Structure 1
Amino acid sequence: MVIYLIIAWRILSLVTWGRDCPDLPCDVVFDIEEWQAAWIVAHRSPPPDAPPPLGQMVRLIAGFGGFLGRKHDGHPGPKAIWEGMQKVRAFAIALEAGRAAYFNDG
């Protein structure tokens, strides 16, 4: 039960911070592996050197959860961010594993 409260708190904070503080760098709330993996999957290109803005990353991650981001859609909600974060966590695990395999092959 407690783990669900922690997850709900993180999702709600992403909803709120993404809307109220969109210009913060995204590494304030995302691990480097999370935002880089999300960027790589979404853009099919290497991530930028500097973390993108939080508002941009929240919308990108919500897109993995079904948020369309049309002109009049408003801000992403908790369901889209939750579903997107599940996918992003899997992307981050894959990125970490790929980096470990690449650097351990020598």
Structure 2
Amino acid sequence: MPIDVAEDGFTALELVKTNEYDLILMDINMPRIDGIETTKRIRLMNKKTPIIALTAVEEDQIKDKIHEAGMNDFIIKPYDLAEFHQIVLKNLYKNII
């Protein structure tokens, strides 16, 4: 399965325009435009692909913003590897059904 890495939000938008993804891991604190704004713009083009936020911000402080932007889930850094796998698999599975 090919993987692309975007250095900033504008690059992520260009990649989503030209590629299909099973899942997007979105860092909230990206350069140029943040992950929240990038997700809002992705959702104008693509409503289906699961987007999981990666953030170091406490859950209570960011949860509403993440869901309002159109993200499906979030992972708080530093994260437990087992929890990371569980969240990714849960969102991939939902996308298949």
Answer whether TM exceeds 0.5 for this pair: no
What TM-score does the superposition give when structure 1 sets the normalisation length? Answer: 0.28
Structure 1 or 2: larger helix share? 1
Structure 1 or 2: larger strand share? 2
